[in-house]
A and B are shown apart, each in its own frame.
Chain A
Amino acid sequence: MDLSKVKNNEKLELCSWYFRAGFFGLPIVWFVNAVWFFNEAFRKPVYEEQRAIKRYVIFSGIGALIWSIVIGTWVYIFQSYRVAFGEFGDSISFVIPTGVP
């Protein structure tokens, strides 16, 4: 859908819906929210709902950032220390790399 055709109050609703949805462990929704509404929040001439949208966008962005740091750290740990984890490492592995024959 195209935001330029949406009324301002609907934009706010949509933005806050996305923000709330993000709490269900959905950082990607926050990320999309932040990117999608970025122009609305920061580059459009001021309108009534803009402050609220701006808040949602900022918090969504922060949330997505925190999530990505957490996931990034975990992936780093997993990739570097998988072997050191021993059996536990194998048991949480979805794909275990095979050796080259």
Chain B
Amino acid sequence: MSHSDSDSVNEGTCLMDTLVNEASYSRRTDYTGNAQEQRDKRRPERPGEDGDTSRSSRRREPNPRSQEPDEEEELKYGAAHVIKLFVPVSLCLLVVVSTMNTVEFYKKKDLYLVYTPFHENSHDPGVKIWNALANAAILMGVIVLMTVILILLYKYRFYKTIHGWLILSSLILLSIFSYIYLLEVLRAYNIPFDYITLGIVMWNFGTMGLIVIHWKGPLHLQQAYLIFIAALMALIFIKYLPEWTTWVVLGVISIWDTFAVLTPKGPLRILVETAQERNEQIFPALIYSSTVIYSLMATPTAGEEDRGDNQGTVEPASPGTQAGFTSEWSEGIDSRVESRRRMIQAHSENRSAPSVSTEPPHVRIEDDEERGVKLGLGDFIFYSVLVGKASSYGDWNTTIACFVAILIGLSLTLLLLAIFKKALPALPISITFGLIFYFCTREIVQPFSDMLNTSQIFI
């Protein structure tokens, strides 16, 4: 148990992929370039250097013109994505918050993870802080270690090992933890249940989940399973992490996320870049994809084969289909972003395993997975941990403040994504906002409104 828990801790999230624009430009320039070349061929005069220079100058020209509308479109397109992500994130938070408020089990502190040996039993804040910091450091160490292992495995192409790992962890979540969840929910509602039905339900639920997550299945069902898995993992963290440690871990993990995604040598970044080089998506199961656009429909067959062959040129395959952004955007950005996120998450978490599975990843990935903004499951988990933890104190003001903070952070991140066009960590902004909102509401707003209430002042 504890293993899977720690593993799943990873967070990385890269919202988008960059290069979309660049890709589109390069394509366009290619077209213009080709035309130029043909013209050059027709004209016998100075085919050599001059032709080249004129070509390159032409290439540059179209870009500035097309750039502005492109950016606008991307922003618009991004807005749709924001909304597409709001729904799953809210659903995940809803599952966690409602469970926290109905099932006592997840509020009770009895057992703790192996990774958090200090249980904060003392009443002295100094000792508690020290315990929390030490726990968080240990937990982060585990996460970093797992991330590095994952990257190494990925880098040296131990795909089977990674898939085995991911399948195993999702299996554990879908079996043991789902079993515990079901048991506790039934207990909370005092509903009698028999072993026969239990067996059938668990077998069906678990198997369906594995098929859908790691192999092929309807997208919505896959998304539902991913959301459930993320919620379950968040509940586990809330239950098995000591009080103060949870808050420290949230802070530390968002810093780690920033570091891992943005620094040149950051593990997640390496992962994403490797995936891009190989033209693969990273373990789809670890990432939630909002798949808004299906630009590739037109070229199903041809596209497949091509992609397999030309690695590195994935984008060109689909570019013609739509005016430019959609396909490029979605494909390039999403896949890259996803891959980054996935990688990140994949390292630490073990949630869901991947569609990549044994087969050559390119083919599958490119056509099967749809393009859209991808958010790492780790992000879902830590968002839910924050809101779930806030709601565990039974204060709805705080819960709603945190919920709003998370969504604001998410939309800011998506905005930045549209501006920077590169994979971004999704945790830092949201979690920072969440923490600020939480402590402000809890320490200032709540006492204030209580005060107003008791003295019957209405503002």
Contacts and interface: CB of A to CB of B under 8 A. Distances in A.
Q: Do A and B come from one complex?
A: yes
B191 A97 contact: yes
Interface string B70-81: 000000000000
Contacts of A25: 200, 203-204
Q: Dominant SS at the B interface?
A: helix
A46 interface: no
B331 interface: no
Interface string A13-51: 010000001001111110010011000000000000000
Contacts of A7: 300-301
Contacts of A95: 183, 186-187, 191-193
Contacts of B207: 24, 26, 29
Contacts of A35: 218
A71 B197 contact: yes
Given A94-B194, A95-B192, A29 B300 contact: no
B297 A4 contact: yes
Interface in B195-213: 195-198, 200, 203-205, 207-208, 211-212
Contacts of B193: 93-95
Contacts of B291: 2
A75 interface: yes
Contacts of B367: 5
B216 interface: yes
A36 B211 CA distance: 14
Interface string A87-101: 000001111111000
Contacts of B211: 21, 29
B190 interface: yes
Given A1-B217, A5-B296, A32-B208, A93 B197 contact: no
A5 B192 contact: no
A92 B195 contact: yes
B294 interface: yes
24 contacts: A1-B217, A1-B355, A1-B369, A1-B370, A2-B291, A2-B370, A5-B297, A5-B300, A5-B367, A5-B368, A6-B300, A24-B207, A25-B200, A25-B203, A28-B208, A29-B204, A29-B208, A32-B217, A36-B217, A75-B197, A94-B186, A94-B193, A95-B187, A98-B190
Interface of B: 183, 186-187, 190-198, 200, 203-205, 207-208, 211-212, 216-219, 221, 291, 294, 296-297, 300-301, 355, 367-370
A-B CB proximity, top 5 nearest: A28-B204, A1-B368, A95-B186, A97-B190, A95-B193
